[in-house]
Structure formats: structure tokens, C-alpha cells
């Protein structure tokens, strides 16, 4: 679990080892730890700790730290000439996903000359463990954040697809209504035809809006210029017809308009365009009936 931090302890004068699982398998051991037991590193790594240290006190404390997740330490006396040496064992739990995954052990000689060294070694090891916990927590938070971002993006995609599908169905329903109006126009007396045609133009204008929405990547907005061109094309076909010399052109800024504003806006443009087109058509019709002076121009 120390990962790249293990290099900080490889040449440490204090014995450091990392154990994993309930069986306390050695996963890391620095050179000082191997010298302590007079073994090569490949003889230590992968072996249970109780095969290396048969001391009952240490093993019992090791089990307690793994079970409770609380750090602990004890001091053992080793007889040696000319005076006994004291060895201090400090044990810290290694946490992963809120549970104890292993134990870190630091072995130090104790005594007046070693107290400062012992304090430094403990601070270094605790800092390494804390940094490892922070790295693990950061990685977990990043995974959760990426998951939430992906879920949010998927919800956006689903919402756009749903909006486009609804717009497509609304457009189809409006086209059915426009077709029904066409059928009604065919059996309506001439004086009232224009009223049905105006109604049909309004329905078609709204249908064009929802058609553009269903094809839009934005979901609920359409390009203003494209919408106006669709309305202009419908007016040209339904109102101007074959009236020569009259065309409707559109000049619009590159703006997006949402559907709630686009519906009344399209109806307003349709009304203004219809009125203007009717006026131009009547003027063109009257102009065509004026007598010619023989030179190809009309006179009044």
C-alpha cells in the first residue's frame, strides 16, 4: 500500500514492514527489517509474519490492531552484553474502503540515544501512511466524480432525444391538421376559402418550428434564420404563388430561439408576411390590368 513511498524506507536504518490480510502476509520489508531477522528479502516477502517473529506478545498485538483498526505499540527487552537492549514495536493499521487491509510495523531500538531517532521515524511513517490514505481517498473521489459526470451527460442526451421525439410527433400531428384543412378548403365556398388558408398557414408555421426542433442538436432551440426561411418559403408558395417579380428574402442574425418564444414569434411573422404578400399580390394584379401605351409599359 506504500506504493512509490516505499523508496523512502528502503535505506532507512529502522526496520519497516507492511503486512496484508488476517494472515499478516509480508508485502513489503526494507533492508533493515531483513537484517533484523538475518534473511534475504525474497525469503521474507510473501511469508506470514508469525514465521519470522514467534514472539506471542507481538503476534497478539498484531491481531488486535488488525481487528480493531487502532494503532498500538509495545517495548520488548532483549538480553545482550554488556547491557540489555530495548526494542520498540509500533503498529499502525492500513485502511482501505473504511476497513483494515493490513498493518505497518516499525521496529526501533530505544534508549536515551535513540529517542530522537525514534520520534523522527514515527513521524516519517505516519506521514507516509496519511499520504497514502489521502491518495486513495482522492482516487475514489475522482472515480465517483467521473461516474456522476457520465451519468449527467447521459441524462442530457436522453433529455435531448426525448425533446426531439416529442417535437417530431407534434410536427406530425400538425401536418395531419393541415391536411384536414386542405380537405375542408376543397368543399368550402370561395368567399371563405381565404380564411381556411390563413388558418392552414398558421398551423404549417408551427409545424415547421417543431420539425426544426426535432432535427436540432440543441433539443429545444432552433436557428432563427432557418426558421424564418421556412416561413418565407411557405408564404411564397401559398400566398404569392405565380406572382411574377415578387420574392421573399430573409436576413437574420445567427441567433437561437427557444420553442416557447418561437411559436408566437412565428405566428407574428406569418401574419405580417401574409398581409404584406396579399398587398403585393393585389398590387401586382392591378398593375397587370392597366392598359399598355404600346411601348411595353403600363399607363394609368
Low-confidence residues of the chain, pLDDT below 70? 1-8, 54-55, 76-87, 108-122, 125, 216-220, 238-246, 277-278, 280-300
Three-state DSSP class for 228?
helix
% of the chain beyond a pLDDT of 90: 1
Give pLDDT, residue 84: 43
Q: What are the residue ranges of CATH 3.30.450.20 in the chain?
A: 3-111
pTM of the full structure? 0.42
User: For the segment 164-190, what is each residue's pLDDT rounded down to a tens digit?
Assistant: 788 788 888 888 998 888 888 888 888
Cα–Cα distance for residue pair 104/20, rounded to 1 Å: 9
Strands 99-110 and 85-96: antiparallel
Give pLDDT, residue 292: 54
Q: Is 239 left (phi over 0), alpha (psi -120 to 50) or beta?
A: alpha
Do 185 and 194 meet the contact criterion of CB atoms below 8 Å apart? no
Give pLDDT, residue 287: 64
The end-to-end CA distance of the chain, in Å, is 101
Cα–Cα distance for residue pair 55/34, rounded to 1 Å: 17
Give pLDDT, residue 79: 45
Pick the CATH number of 3-111 from 3.40.50.1370, 3.40.47.10, 3.30.450.20, 1.10.357.10: 3.30.450.20
- CA separation (Å) from 190 to 6, 29, 185, 297? 94, 101, 9, 33
Amino acid at each position: 500500500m506504500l506504493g512509490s513511498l516505499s523508496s523512502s524506507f528502503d535505506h532507512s536504518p529502522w526496520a519497516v514492514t507492511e503486512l496484508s490480510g488476517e494472515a499478516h502476509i509480508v508485502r513489503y520489508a526494507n533492508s533493515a527489517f531483513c537484517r533484523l531477522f538475518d534473511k534475504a528479502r525474497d525469503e521474507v516477502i510473501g511469508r506470514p509474519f508469525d514465521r519470522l517473529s514467534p514472539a506471542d506478545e507481538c503476534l497478539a498485538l498484531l491481531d488486535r490492531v488488525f481487528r480493531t483498526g487502532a494503532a498500538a505499540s509495545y517495548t520488548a527487552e532483549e538480553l545482550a552484553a554488556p547491557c540489555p537492549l530495548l526494542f520498540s514495536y509500533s503498529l499502525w493499521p492500513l485502511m482501505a474502503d473504511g476497513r483494515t487491509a493490513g498493518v505497518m510495523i516499525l521496529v526501533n531500538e530505544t534508549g536515551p540515544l535513540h529517542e530522537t531517532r525514534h520520534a523522527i521515524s514515527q513521524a516519517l511513517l505516519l506521514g507516509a501512511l496519511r499520504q497514502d490514505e489521502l491518495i486513495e481517498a482522492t482516487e475514489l473521489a475522482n472515480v465517483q466524480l467521473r461516474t456522476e459526470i457520465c451519468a449527467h451527460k447521459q441524462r442530457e442526451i436522453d433529455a435531448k432525444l426525448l425533446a426531439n421525439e416529442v417535437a417530431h410527433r407534434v410536427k406530425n400531428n400538425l401536418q395531419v391538421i393541415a391536411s384536414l384543412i386542405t380537405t375542408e378548403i376543397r368543399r368550402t365556398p370561395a368567399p371563405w376559402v381565404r380564411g381556411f388558408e390563413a388558418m392552414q398557414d398558421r398551423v404549417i408555421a408551427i409545424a415547421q418550428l417543431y420539425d426544426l426542433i426535432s432535427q436540432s442538436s440543441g433539443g429545444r432551440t432552433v436557428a432563427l434564420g432557418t426558421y424564418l426561411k421556412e416561413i418565407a418559403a411557405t408564404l411564397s408558395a401559398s400566398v404569392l404563388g405565380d406572382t411574377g417579380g415578387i420574392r421573399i428574402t430573409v436576413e437574420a442574425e445567427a441567433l437561437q430561439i427557444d420553442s416557447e418564444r418561437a411559436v408566437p414569434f412565428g405566428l407574428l411573422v406569418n401574419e405580417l408576411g401574409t398581409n404584406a404578400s396579399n398587398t403585393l399580390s393585389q398590387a401586382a394584379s392591378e398593375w397587370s390590368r392597366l392598359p399598355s401605351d404600346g411601348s411595353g409599359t403600363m399607363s394609368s
